[in-house]
Structure 1
Amino acid sequence: GKSKYQHNLTGEDNGDAHLKRTVMGREVIVAITKGKLDFGPWEQIFYGEFDGQRKKRILIKIIGE
């Protein structure tokens, strides 16, 4: 049958991964206080992998003092 996502017609079948990433976002900003992650009582970092076991790159930027 015909694919639901036009992206899949390029030969890759990961169109749904792009849509999930759009909903979930791709970055997080967290405070660091006295050298430790400063989460609120209900906060945590969640990583969702939607596109298989491809190589990934992590970028950490530190802004401030």
Structure 2
Amino acid sequence: MGIQDKFENKAEELKGRAKESAGSAIGDDDLKNEGKADQASSGVKKGIEKVKDKANEVAEKLTGD
């Protein structure tokens, strides 16, 4: 996972947390749910990047690079 990807995923997660908190504070369920969705999206992206990293590690071991 590249540094840029990690940064973008963390920013999306934090944005989602902020939206969820703001939605809870003002009683806006749509904003709260949007925040939860942003956090979930970030989690999925992190998972995909971890799989890519592991696949690259395996490929490097197999090829000896």
Task: Tell me: higher relative CO, structure 1 or 2? Use CA pairs within 8 A at least 6 residues apart.
Answer: 2
Same fold (TM over 0.5): no
Structure number with higher strand proportion: 1
TM-score (norm 2): 0.30
Structure number with higher helix proportion: 2
